[in-house]
Amino acid sequence: MGNLTGKEVAQMHKDYVMQSWSKSGVDALPVEKAKGIYFWDYDGKKYADMASLLVCSNLGHELPEIVEAIKEQADKMCFMAPAYASEPKSKLAKMLVEAAGADHFKRVFFTNGGAESNENAIKMARMVTGRTKVFSCYRSYHGATLGASNASGDWRRFAAEIGGANGFVKFMNPQMYRDGYTYGVDDEVVTKKALADLDLQLRYEGPQNVAAILMESIVGANGVILPPKGYMEGVRKLCDKYGILMICDEVMAGFFRTGKWFAWQNFDFVPDMITFAKGVTCGYVQLGGVIVNKKVADYFEENVLQCGLTYSGHTLACAAGVAALTYYKEHNIEQHVAEMHEIVAPFMQKMVEKHKCVGEARCIGLFGALEMVKNKETREPLQEYGVPGTAMPWIFAELKKRGFATFGRENFIEVCPPLIITKEELEEYLPILDEVLTMADEKFCD
Ligand SMILES: Cc1ncc(COP(=O)(O)O)c(C=O)c1O
């Protein structure tokens, strides 16, 4: 390792790697090293990781506490099979149940990442209820395996729909900027209408056939969409009314991204299952899983859990997880996120007031997105959903040129820095966003 030049790394990537969500043979930035909130390319150019890569590097890069825990575990035992108990797996399962709330939650099934977490939660819901259908939102992403992909709402599900998978039903989850404020109505009106629509749709599908409603507690990769007040609680009530299990996908929003262990803890309800990944290890070793409540756990005390993965509860990954969760707790990341939010959220609001191209700023904890528009009056998106365009790629490229690395999609920019970012780092990098938005105003707005 370490004997190739940056050019060679990039060329071999271009020649041999199939890149996610991309045509093959595209250029990729070769990255040599990372530390804290930064990573560096082979020319020594430094980038601030303002999206925590794919909103997973919550504790930044190369955190000594996680690296040391991995090294220590690697020296002792890298991997032990699922049917054996290992200290990191036992410890992590207990820590996760406690973080979710041991009064409701009881056990954890470990997977290798987010998609598998949702996949297995869906299987469990079907086994527990004996029902087939799974309701999920159009404005959502749940992963790229067959079931998780079919549950996802955005266009990334289309390839998985070619062969199909049984029983996936979509409903439209509200977005206030588009469904509420555009029409001059408030949260209460939107919530009431959205819940009535969902109830009706459930009745048309036959609620006795619905195993689960799977939702991101706060939609992430479709633009940090904050649910209108009362909406999630209303969905919970519908689940109770019809004996449906509620699965909250916390893959992106979990582990203090929103300021709490889990994003649903910002609201007034409790799900039946929580799916997680990303922030559980911050990507140092890949890991995911499902935390289940007593009802689901008890079912599998009487019935065989027909879920299994060679690497379920992978020892090295769980050791990274124990180190990450310990760090969140011992360094009071909750408090730090609350303090940094007080810098990021007002800055994002200022961007709305200052720039023609920013329609709305949404931010909870350090989970933020700017909604981009061509015209503030009409709220015409800078780039229409599902239509390839050049405006957003131009913005991301200009940000990257200036050392501000982030991502987004058709019409939003994610602002999700590592949770350990400091005031000084924010003050250094946020003005870059301001600068590029000024250029975007000129270039793209009416
Ligand atoms: C909410 C959510 N669920 C599931 C996934 C899929 O996770 P993975 O890519 O680890 O399979 C993602 C990935 O971004 C996600 O944001």
Q: What is the pLDDT of residue 184?
A: 84
**CA-based nearest residue to 360, from 343, 339, 381, 340:** 381
Ligand 1 atom showing the smallest separation from residue 116 Cα? 11
Identity (one letter) of the amino acid at 98?
E
Beta strands per DSSP E along 21-70: 31-35, 38-41, 46-49
Tokens of 438: 């000024």
Using DSSP bridges, classify how beta strands 38-41 and 210-216 pair: parallel, antiparallel or unpaired: unpaired
SS3 306: coil
- Binned at pLDDT 50, 70 and 90, residue 409 comes out as confident
CA 140 to each of CA 35, 221, 249, 267, 344: distance values in angstroms, whole numbers, following the listed order? 31, 7, 10, 19, 24
What sign has the CA pseudo-torsion 28, 440, 407, 256?
Answer: positive
Give the contacts of 335 (CB within 8 A, at least 6 positions apart): none
Question: How far is the C-alpha of 235 from the C-alpha of 269, rounded, in Å?
Answer: 9
Which numbered atom of ligand 1 lies nearest the CA of 253? 1
Helices (H), 33-164: 52-55, 64-76, 87-100, 114-129, 146-151, 158-161
pLDDT reading at 223 higher than 80: yes
* Token output for 415: 């602002």
Contact in structure between 436 and 397 (CB atoms under 8 Å): no
For the chain, percent of residues with pLDDT exceeding 70: 100
Tens of pLDDT, residues 167-217:
999 999 999 999 988 888 899 999 999 999 999 999 999 999 999 999 999
| Interhelix angle 423-444/391-401, nearest 10 degrees | 140
Q: Is the pLDDT of residue 2 over 90?
A: no
Express each pLDDT in 62-101 by its tens digit: 999 999 999 999 999 999 999 999 999 999 999 999 999 9
| Nearest-angstrom CA–CA distance, 364 and 145 | 29
Least confident of 68-72, 106-110, 263-267, 406-410: 406-410
pLDDT at residue number 100:
98
Summarised one tens digit per residue, pLDDT across range 22-45 is 999 999 999 999 999 999 999 999
Is the shortest distance between the CB of 114 and ligand 1 below 6 Å?
A: yes
* CB of 54 closer than 6 angstroms to any ligand 1 atom: yes
221 lines ligand 1 (CB under 6 A): yes
Model-level pTM? 0.97
H/E stretch holding 106: strand 105-111
Structure letter (DSSP) for residue 383: S
Please tell me the distance between residue 36's alpha carbon and the centre of ligand 1 in angstroms.
Answer: 23
- Tens-digit pLDDT profile for residues 321-355: 999 999 999 999 999 999 999 999 999 999 999 99
Name the residue at shortest CA distance from atom 8 of ligand 1.
114
In this prediction, residue 293 carries a pLDDT of 98
Q: Quick one: pLDDT at residue 1?
A: 64
Q: Express each pLDDT in 226-256 by its tens digit.
A: 999 999 999 999 999 999 999 999 999 999 9
- Please give the Cα distance from 421 to 342 (Å, whole number): 13
CA distance between the termini of the chain: 51
- Residue to mutate, 222, 250, 252, 258, ligand 1, most ligand atoms under 8 Å from C-beta: 252
Other beta carbons less than 10 A from residue 318's beta carbon: 28
Q: How far away, in angstroms, is 126 Cα from ligand 1 center?
A: 21
